[in-house]
């Protein structure tokens, strides 16, 4: 679907809205990092989406059966992505997690090969650049094989989510589809958290592990970063092309690194920072090709 045109004076406002969405996403990394000191990745994800589901309930109640079916697939994909990312953050820095997560932008065209799409030389170059960048980041001493693998797997799941969403978005109201997938994520995440706690005391100790700081972080993740940003995206992307929006979203790891520096006092070595620049450049290069096409 082609975004509706808007007067020039309004375009900048919508671009700024998407930049704000990306800034909010970037701020989730240090929030998640702080939360993982007390909660597991699946607990954070379940609580986050329960809060978001309560916000989206009015639209979910009006959804069709088809929207609930498509929302289930979308919800499962993005839940796996978020849980893998949150688990990875228990063992690696928020900077590293943000840059590895940003690879989902590269994975989207790569997964397109399975669907019969041709891979351009630009995408191949971008993928090679990303591999070099990740290699340089791994020399920073923060590498953790399982956590890195989980984070990359989460990025892969999110890439699948983006592809499926692009096929189903035109069949439903954006708000209705967002509401159903968030409710599914809340339900599946709650079951997952319960199953993971079997044989342990985690469910019984959950209230004790949620202090005021953690509660505020969960409210931010659920109300602002999930429910609120889905509404803002739906509004702004009516006037901004998908190609330009993707370029704006590539700023997420940059914002994540900024917030990690401000809130968590995290830093990158020169080698790791250079690798991060290469990864971001690869993301931008891959999207520049689609924008030029």
195: region left, alpha or beta (phi > 0 left; psi from -120 to 50 alpha): alpha
| Mean pLDDT computed over every residue of the chain | 78
pLDDT of res. 9: 41
DSSP 120: P
Q: Is the overall model pTM greater than 0.85, yes or no?
A: no
Are the CB atoms for 111 and 163 separated by under 8 Å? yes
What is the tens place of the pLDDT at every residue in 213-272? 889 989 999 999 988 887 777 677 666 655 466 656 767 767 777 777 777 666 667 777
More confident residue, 204 or 55: 55
Buried b (16+ CB within 10 A) or exposed e, 211-222: eeebeebbebbb
pLDDT by residue (tens digit) across 1-48? 445 444 444 345 777 887 898 889 888 877 887 788 888 878 888 899
Decide if pLDDT at 121 tops 50. yes
């Amino acid at each position: 679907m082609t975004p509706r045109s808007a007067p020039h004076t309004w375009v900048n406002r919508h671009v700024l809205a998407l930049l704000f969405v990306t800034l909010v996403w970037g701020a989730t990394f240090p929030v998640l990092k702080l939360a993982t000191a007390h909660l597991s990745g699946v607990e954070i994800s379940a609580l986050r989406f329960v809060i978001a589901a309560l916000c989206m309930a009015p639209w979910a109640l009006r959804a069709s059966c088809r929207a609930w079916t498509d929302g289930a697939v979308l919800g499962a994909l993005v839940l796996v992505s978020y849980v893998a990312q949150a688990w990875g953050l228990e063992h690696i820095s928020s900077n590293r997690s943000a840059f590895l997560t940003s690879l989902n932008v590269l994975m989207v065209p790569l997964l397109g090969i399975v669907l019969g799409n041709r891979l351009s030389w630009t995408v191949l170059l971008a993928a090679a650049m990303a591999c070099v960048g990740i290699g340089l980041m791994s020399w920073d001493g923060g590498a953790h094989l399982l956590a890195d693998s989980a984070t990359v797997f989460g990025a892969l799941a999110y890439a699948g989510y983006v592809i499926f969403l692009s096929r189903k978005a035109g069949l439903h109201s954006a708000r209705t589809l967002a509401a159903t997938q968030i409710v599914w994520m809340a339900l599946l995440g709650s079951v997952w958290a319960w199953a993971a706690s079997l044989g342990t005391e985690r469910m019984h100790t959950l209230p004790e592990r949620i202090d005021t700081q953690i509660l505020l972080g969960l409210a931010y993740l659920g109300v602002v970063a999930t429910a609120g940003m889905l509404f803002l995206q739906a509004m702004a992307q009516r006037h901004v092309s998908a190609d330009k929006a993707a370029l704006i979203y590539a700023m997420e790891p940059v914002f994540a690194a900024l917030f990690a520096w401000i809130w968590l006092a995290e830093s990158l070595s020169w080698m790791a920072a250079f690798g991060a620049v290469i990864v971001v450049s690869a993301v931008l290069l891959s999207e520049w090709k689609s924008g030029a096409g």
